[in-house]
Structure formats: structure tokens, C-alpha cells
Chains A and B, each alone.
Chain A
Amino acid sequence: MLDAGRHPNIKILAYSEVQGLEGKAGDFTVQYLKKARYIKEEVCTACGACAEKCPIKADNDFEMGLKKRKAIYIYFPQGIPAVYTIDPEHCPMILKGKCGLCAKLCQAGAIDYEQKDEKKTLHVGAVIVATGVTQFDPSVVTEYGYGRIKNVITGLEYERLISASGPTKGHLYRPSDEKLAKRVAYIQCVGSRSLKYKDYCSSVCCMYAIKDAMLAREHDEEAESYIFYSDFRVMGKRYQQYRLRGAEDYGIKYIRGRVAEIIEDAEGNPVLWYEDTRTRQVKSLTVDMVVLCSAAVPSKGVEQLAEVLGIELTPNRFVKTDPFHPTDTTVPGIFVCGFCQNPKDIAESVSQASGAASRAAGLLGITSSGKRTVA
């Protein structure tokens, strides 16, 4: 991220959305909306004095709503660009012209309540779509009680809890009573590999559950982990070895079976009812917390973007490519990489990103720049 942020040939248009595309491969005109931050980006020093005193609190999206942020905020500490943004849905100054405290505090004079969204255009030769992934909302899988049973959380929420810079500073305090969660169950294929919701495999959940469980044990020697799966997807380099290490060195229990239902006991502990398909017995397991490894789905807004760009999507809303030309969309000059094309891990995304760059460079005729004199 920093590399991209500092690269002289990369201009980052953050907080912006593509709204139109004209032209053809090698000669595109892109219309995009630069959303108002109500902050002069070139002036803000990201000192944070504004947010410290801002009286308004809102859910922190980056922390999956597990923490509050102010109405003037920075998306996350290492974010690029390091510029504050005013949330127009919560800022009283934007909503009804009352407050204005941040403008008084800002030494740099970066606050601009009058700032408007701007429509801009850009000329480019090639477009690369890399819009990534988000997590399927598992509350529709009602039998798992997400949203109803407090100690049932999603994989992304767990990521924030276990993160040293997250809302609990890396301690697994469970949501209901802030008791340390020691027994955690991870449920695979929540909404994925399912004819009812998403029929595909998200490719990464089995492995991240192992990682999550390893981290839990590294934070707490008494942590116990149970991963419920149907087929363990270990097809990546050194994955199976990682899985074995999870069992041998971290004591992770792998249970083959889909959980039928989760109920809550009097102490707020989730109780899982499941069939262990290896023994064909119906069993129950009481844990402190459940992590739902729900389907990874293409990011919000991918349909609109596809429409703007004129590219096709698969029935599961991934960017459509020919299986043997995985970086080419259905429109010449528009390339694709990462999870938005097909569920994949980081290494594959990185490889494919280089691949998409290669296709774009080929189109643009970027070749030897000629010899430079060597000192």
C-alpha cells in the first residue's frame, strides 16, 4: 500500500467512484466522482486534533462496528492517503450547520464544510478491475443465530478482535460479557457451497480458520479450537502441511460435519448441534464463541461497475473471463485480477495482478525505454 502510495507513476484517487467509461482499448475516457471529504486533502496533516475533540460518535466500519469512531475520522491508522474525512451522515455541521468545532481546532485550516462532490475525467489506455471481496451477511442463515446470539461473530469481526490494533487490542473478549473466549468454534461454508445461498467455494475460509485458531492459541495457551468443515480445501502451496501443523502443534480439532443449529445457553454460550459425519452421530458442543466463516462475495457495487464498464459477470457476480485467459474481461482493454475474478488467496491474487499489469503493458506498447547511460 505504501509502495503504491509513494510511487511516482501511481496517482491514488481514493474516496472516488468510476461513473462512466467511453472509448476503446488504448484510449479510454473515465468519468469518476471524487466524493467530498469536507477536508482539503493537500492541507490536512493527519494530526488528529479534530477527531480527538469531535463530540459525535458513529460506528467504525473498519473495525466492523465493534468500536466507535468520530464523525471526523481516518479510515484506519496506516491508511493511504493519510487524510481525515468528515462523515456527512453524522456531522452536525454538514447536517444542520451546527458545531464547527473541528474547523476551529484545525491548525492547518484543512476543514471545508462547503466542499462538494466533484465530477472528473481521466484519460487512460487500459483499465484493471481489482475490486476485491467482502463477506456474505450470515444473518439470513437463521439457524446460526448471527445477529441474535451475541457470541456468534463473522470471520472478519474475529480478525478485528484478534488484531493487536483492533478494538480489544488483540484479546478475544467475546461480545456478550467481555469474558475471554477460550473455546472457539469455526464454522465453514456458511452460505457457501450451498444451493440456497452461494453455490461456490470461497477458497480461503478453511485456511484462514486454521490461522485464526493458531493466533488464538498464540495469544492464550488454554485456547481450544474446533473447525467444522465438509471438505478441507488445502489445495495451495504448503496448505496441507499447515493444516497438519494446526492439529499437531496447536491442538486444533477438525470436525467433519455441517452444524445444524446454534442455540444459546443461559450464560450466553453458543451450543452447536451437529452431526459428526465421520462417526454419524448427532452431538452438541458448547463453546464461548462461534466464528462464522461465511462466503466471500464480490464487493458491493460490482454490478453497477460492470454496467458502467460494459463487462460481463458470472452468475455469482464475479468478473467473467475465459478460463484460459484469466486476466481478460469481456471488453478489450479492460483487465481483471484478484478475488473479484474468482475466489483466490493472496499469492494467487498477487500473481494475477502482475499478469493483468502485463496484459495492460502489452496493450499500451510499453517496451524498452532505451538505454540509460550508466555511471
Chain B
Amino acid sequence: MNEKRGLPSVGVFVCRCGVNIGGFLDTPALVEYAKTLPGVVFAKENLYTCSESGTAEIKKAIQENDIQRVVVAACTPLTHEPLFRAICQEAGVNPYLFEFVNIREHCSWAHMKEGEEATKKAKDLIRMGVARAIELEPLESIEAEVEPSALVIGGGISGLVAAASLAERGFRVALVEREGELGGMLRHLYKLYPSDVPAEEVLKPWRDKVIDNPLVDLYLESEVISVKGYIGNYDVVIKSPEKEIPLKAGVIILATGAQLWEPPEGLYGYNKKDVITQLELESLLMKGKLKADKVVMIQCVGAMSPERSYCSRICCVTAIKNAILIKELNTAASVHILYRQMQAYGDEYESYLRRAKELGVRFVNFSPEQSPVVENQQVKVYHQLLGRELTLPFDLLVLSTPLVTQRGSEALATLLKVPIDQDGFFLEAHIKLRPLDFSTDGIYLCGCAHYPADVGEAVSQALGAASRASIHLTRGYIKVEPIVSSLIDEKLCQGCGLCAGLCPYGAIEMVDTSEGKKARIISVACKGCGICAASCYCQAIRLSHYTREQLEAQIRALLSA
């Protein structure tokens, strides 16, 4: 305890973040300023507070100065709060007695050219942080059991791999597939690039692993119609042709794939006969019914365009593969691929592209401003690199159309309360660092539901999603951040139900009590967003870590300058 003022002792650590902060703000002045604030018994700057040496200094200071509240003025809580909380805990200070002040994004980066003013602002923020820190309360994380089973939605290659991988680890899996058979898109494909093995050969072992597995409960011709609950404890209802089946799951993996965009009748003469999609070509090849001597393929039909701005990733190599297969069947056939940007990435696809060229497949580069024109069994295209128009007669025109969001994705997104991006694919928690997670804990993502992927990539993601999901299943319990809402006093609640209606996470239910209807908050499902506390007319709900007292102290400190 801070003897002088009867306040808890506060330690303030100012980070230079190399030059990110130190290059713009007067950090020594911030340290001196912090020392003048009520409650502060220790203040110091570090080159990188997050480095091993920086965190060691925090621990040392806590122990040597009996610090009870830790304030770090550095970067963003998004990336570094967990670290500093853990450091506090390791040094014996409750992790929720830590306050983060962002003087990088909010000061040095935002006001790079106004160092003096930005330093002033940083002082304000530090003063506010210290004031709030004094009001913080220790919190203990909330734990809940995890049902050791998974729900996998989608029985294509991604879903099969994810299910097989979890079952291999000994977890029970419910695999739900809308169609009457497993296999998804691969059932409709002939051979797969780059090794030209039949799709069925790749599919079969995974399908067998799932079908023969006593730990996998298979629900074909079934759909998920209800999902309630939260990580570790989902109540799911599956609708099969016969009945509705309720089941429990600890985690959910979404592997619903994508579908091929079918062009409108007449686009480039699309007629499903001599103007077809790549998928229809796969079917001709599979049935051995391909009869064509003059084949033209057009890439990016309906993709990289104003209505669908993304590149669908797999179409270029798919076209290369099918061109090779056609040339191998009929060396005399002419095959032209009309492309915009050839996506032959990675270790193998360039050599695959070269193989197609060696076999005599012709590649024609066109620009979207001068798209090919189809008339009278001919494609007219301006070859950008030759600088002249080519006329290519065809007896088969193949349109490479993009993979688009799966039918029913929006309904599923609503059911699971997970987001969809502008292109209709499911939106992961972080594009780089958490590609297989949703921001809602307990739900994971893999395969083409995330974004078009080839089979190898989908397998890799499915194994990965299984790994992410298995972390909670293996542990058997989850720890939830204790920043949650709670009823201050049940008597204050009038049972209006506004909070339950507004809660985006389904974390509030209305229950009947002897005193009438009352709100009941499921802490383990609560994400601490505070909507309920802010909207409660009776001020019956309190959000821990963001209490009225804490926020008021912060505001008062701002105004006290």
C-alpha cells in the first residue's frame, strides 16, 4: 500500500517500442510525469517493454517496490495485453490489476509530426490509465467443462479430413452432410492436379476412415437447424430425413466448401453443350465422352470483375490440367487458354504450366477491357502480347468460372453467429495469424468455405482446423476471460428482457423466479461487450473490469488537467 496517500501502489512502464514511440514522443518526460501522479511509486522506460528483458524488468520492479497496479504505456492491447497480464500474474499481481495505455497507435503513430502535442496527449492518457488502474478489481478467470466431441459441418474433402483427424485422436465426431453421399466437389472431378491422379483415389481413403470409424456418427441428407450454447457446450439439432436429432458438441468445424458459379445461359454462348464450364468438362472427361478437336478455354469468367472482384485461385491450374488431359487424349487437338493473369504459383505449378506449353497448349493473354467475343463457333480475342486480334474456331468452349459461396452460407452464418466477408466466404478471426479460427471461440473453419483452395491446401487447413479444435477437447475445460456482465442485484431486474434480446452471443436467458421473470447471464458465453449493461434501464447489470467507478475515475482524470 502506498503509505503517503492510502492508495494502491502503481508502477508505470513506458515503452519506446524502438523508435515507434521513442522516435516521436519524449518518453523520459512521460516517465517523470508518471512519477508525479497519485499512487505511482515507480516509473521507468524500456526500449521494448514486450521483450524478454523488458518483461523481466516489470517483474523485478513489482517485487522490489511492492507494486499492486501495473500500467504499461506502449502499443495495443490487441497484441500485447495477454503478455503483460501473464507477466503480472507471474509476479504475483492479479492479471486484471493491469491497465494498458496505448501511446503508439493513439499518439506517436497518429501524430507523428506533432511530437510535443502527442507527448501531451500521452500524458493525459497515462493519467487516465493510472486513475483507472487504482479502481481496478482482481478477477478470477471462469472455467467450464468441455464436452469432448465435435460437430463437423460438411462432408467434402475438408470435412472428411477434419473428422478423421479428430476421431484418430479419440474424440467423438458428428459429421453432417447435406447430400446423400460424402465427398463434396471431389465427386464431380475427374483427375486432380498436379499429379493427375483420379479424384476418387484421393477421396476414398479419407471417406473409408470416416465410414469405418466407430467414433464418427454420420448424418447424410441432413442439415444443422439449431445451434445453441457456447464453446465446450453446444446444443445442436440436426434434421435428418426421418427426424430431428439433438446432440451435444464441444466444438464446431465448418467445412461447407464452395460451389462453382454457373454462368447465365448465353454468356459467351453458354449452353451446356458446346459451351460449358470446367466442371462440366470434368464430367465429360470422367465419362470418356469428350469429343473435341478445337478447344478454347476462357479464364476469369465472372471473376476479377466488378461484381466478383476476387481471384478464385484454382481455375488457372484447373484449366492447365484439363488442357493437358485433352492433349494427352488427342495430340492433334488444338487447345487455347485465354487468360488474364496466370496463377501458376508455388514449387510445382510453373512446371505444370510448362508441360502444357510443351504439349502445344496455346496461351493467349487478354485484358478485361477487351474481353473475348464469341460468335459463329468462333472466339475473337485481342492478343495483348501479339497486339492483334485472333479468331479461334472451336467445337468446345470451356468457361473457367469462379468458386462462390456455398448455398445456404448466410443461414448457417446466422445460426452459428459467425461473419461472412464481402465475397460471401466465411470471415476468419485474423487474415494472417488466425486463418482457421472464427472470432467466436469454439468454431473453426477450413477448405473452400474460407476461400477457394486446391485439394492439398484444403487438406492442410482441415488438419489445422482439427488441431485448433482439439486444443480445447484435449484440455477438457476452458478458461474464459472474467470480463463479463453480471446482475448487481436480482431485485433491480424488472424482467423486461431487453438485454436478452440485444445480446449478440445468446449469453442471457430470461428465467422464471418467485419474484417474476429475471435475466440470467451465462458467464461462460458472455464476451463482455457491455451492450446489456449499457441498455439496462434499471442499471441492474454491471460489467466487470469496466465498472461505472472505473470509467468515471478515468473521465475525471481526463478533466482534471
The reply to whether B20 and A368 form a contact with Cβ atoms under 8 Å apart is no
In this complex, the member of B20, B311, B347, B348 whose beta carbon has the largest number of chain A beta carbons within 10 angstroms is: B347
Give the residue of B341, B433, B446 whose beta carbon is less than 8 angstroms from that of A233: B341
List B residues 159-193 near A (Cβ within 8 Å).
Answer: 165, 168-171, 192
The reply to whether B52 and A170 form a contact with Cβ atoms under 8 Å apart is no
List B residues 173-220 near A (Cβ within 8 Å).
Answer: 192, 194-195, 197, 202
B403 to chain A, nearest CB (A): 12
| Number of B residues with CB within 8 Å of any CB on chain A | 80
* Nearest-CB residue, chain A, relative to B367: A278
What sequence of 0s and 1s flags, for each residue 463-487 of chain B, a beta carbon within 8 Å of any chain A beta carbon? 1111110100111110000000000
The reply to whether A350 and B460 form a contact with Cβ atoms under 8 Å apart is no
B51 to chain A, nearest CB (A): 5
A1 to chain B, nearest CB (A): 10
Assembled-state Cα–Cα distance A357/B465 (Å): 11
Q: Give the residues in chain B near A344, CB-CB below 8 Å.
A: 346
The reply to whether B170 and A277 form a contact with Cβ atoms under 8 Å apart is no
The reply to whether B384 and A244 form a contact with Cβ atoms under 8 Å apart is no
Indicate whether A5 sits within 8 Å of B463 (C-beta atoms), given known contacts A347-B431, A372-B477.
Answer: no
What sequence of 0s and 1s flags, for each residue 261-280 of chain A, a beta carbon within 8 Å of any chain B beta carbon? 00000000000000001101
B467 to chain A, nearest CB (A): 4
Assembled-state Cα–Cα distance A346/B428 (Å): 14
- Interface segment out of the listed B121-129, B451-459, B552-560: B451-459
Answer whether residue A4 sits at the interface, using C-beta atoms and an 8 A cutoff: no
The reply to whether A326 and B341 form a contact with Cβ atoms under 8 Å apart is no
Answer whether residue B425 sits at the interface, using C-beta atoms and an 8 A cutoff: yes
Assembled-state Cα–Cα distance A294/B451 (Å): 28
Answer whether residue B53 sits at the interface, using C-beta atoms and an 8 A cutoff: yes
Answer whether residue A237 sits at the interface, using C-beta atoms and an 8 A cutoff: yes
Indicate whether A237 sits within 8 Å of B451 (C-beta atoms), given known contacts A47-B53, A350-B433, A368-B476.
Answer: yes
The reply to whether B309 and A244 form a contact with Cβ atoms under 8 Å apart is yes
The reply to whether A164 and B344 form a contact with Cβ atoms under 8 Å apart is no
The reply to whether A358 and B310 form a contact with Cβ atoms under 8 Å apart is no
* Nearest-CB residue, chain A, relative to B168: A362
The reply to whether B464 and A361 form a contact with Cβ atoms under 8 Å apart is no
The reply to whether B143 and A375 form a contact with Cβ atoms under 8 Å apart is yes
Assembled-state Cα–Cα distance A277/B383 (Å): 11
* Nearest-CB residue, chain B, relative to A347: B435
Answer whether residue B83 sits at the interface, using C-beta atoms and an 8 A cutoff: yes
Answer whether residue A61 sits at the interface, using C-beta atoms and an 8 A cutoff: no
Assembled-state Cα–Cα distance A137/B461 (Å): 32
* Nearest-CB residue, chain A, relative to B170: A367
The reply to whether B20 and A164 form a contact with Cβ atoms under 8 Å apart is yes
The reply to whether A343 and B461 form a contact with Cβ atoms under 8 Å apart is no
Answer whether residue B144 sits at the interface, using C-beta atoms and an 8 A cutoff: yes
List A residues 211-225 near B (Cβ within 8 Å).
Answer: none
Give the residue of B47, B56, B169, B195 whose beta carbon is less than 8 angstroms from that of A45: B56
A128 to chain B, nearest CB (A): 12
The reply to whether B435 and A358 form a contact with Cβ atoms under 8 Å apart is no
List A residues 170-214 near B (Cβ within 8 Å).
Answer: 170, 193, 199-201, 203
The reply to whether B431 and A232 form a contact with Cβ atoms under 8 Å apart is no
Assembled-state Cα–Cα distance A152/B328 (Å): 45
The reply to whether B476 and A361 form a contact with Cβ atoms under 8 Å apart is no
Assembled-state Cα–Cα distance A234/B423 (Å): 15
Answer whether residue B387 sits at the interface, using C-beta atoms and an 8 A cutoff: yes
Indicate whether A237 sits within 8 Å of B346 (C-beta atoms), given known contacts A352-B464, A361-B470.
Answer: no
| Number of A residues with CB within 8 Å of any CB on chain B | 73
Assembled-state Cα–Cα distance A200/B434 (Å): 28
In this complex, the member of B83, B171, B460 whose beta carbon has the largest number of chain A beta carbons within 10 angstroms is: B460
Indicate whether A354 sits within 8 Å of B387 (C-beta atoms), given known contacts A234-B311, A324-B456.
Answer: no
In this complex, the member of A45, A236, A354 whose beta carbon has the largest number of chain B beta carbons within 10 angstroms is: A354
Indicate whether A5 sits within 8 Å of B467 (C-beta atoms), given known contacts A277-B385, A367-B474.
Answer: no
What sequence of 0s and 1s flags, for each residue 16-56 of chain B, a beta carbon within 8 Å of any chain A beta carbon? 00111001000000000000000000000001101111001
The reply to whether B343 and A235 form a contact with Cβ atoms under 8 Å apart is yes
A29 to chain B, nearest CB (A): 25
- Interface segment out of the listed A19-27, A74-82, A109-117: A74-82
The reply to whether B384 and A354 form a contact with Cβ atoms under 8 Å apart is no
Answer whether residue B345 sits at the interface, using C-beta atoms and an 8 A cutoff: yes
B88 to chain A, nearest CB (A): 13
The reply to whether B313 and A235 form a contact with Cβ atoms under 8 Å apart is yes
* Nearest-CB residue, chain A, relative to B142: A375
Assembled-state Cα–Cα distance A258/B313 (Å): 23
Indicate whether A358 sits within 8 Å of B18 (C-beta atoms), given known contacts A199-B350, A326-B460.
Answer: no
Assembled-state Cα–Cα distance A249/B433 (Å): 25
Assembled-state Cα–Cα distance A33/B475 (Å): 34
What sequence of 0s and 1s flags, for each residue 327-363 of chain A, a beta carbon within 8 Å of any chain B beta carbon? 1000000000000001111111011111111110110
The 9 A-B residue pairs with the shortest CB-CB distance in the complex, in nearest-first order: A354-B464, A82-B52, A355-B463, A358-B467, A165-B18, A367-B170, A46-B53, A355-B464, A237-B451
B residues contacting A by CB (< 8 A) are: 18-20, 23, 47-48, 50-53, 56, 83, 86, 143-145, 148, 165, 168-171, 192, 194-195, 197, 202, 304, 309-311, 313, 316, 341-351, 354, 367, 384-385, 387, 421, 423, 425, 431-436, 446, 450-451, 455-457, 459-468, 470, 473-477
In addition to A348-B457, A354-B468, A357-B464, 20 A-B residue pairs with Cβ atoms within 8 Å of each other are A6-B83, A46-B52, A77-B18, A164-B19, A199-B354, A201-B350, A231-B341, A234-B311, A238-B423, A241-B309, A314-B347, A343-B347, A345-B432, A348-B435, A348-B460, A355-B467, A362-B169, A367-B171, A372-B145, A372-B475
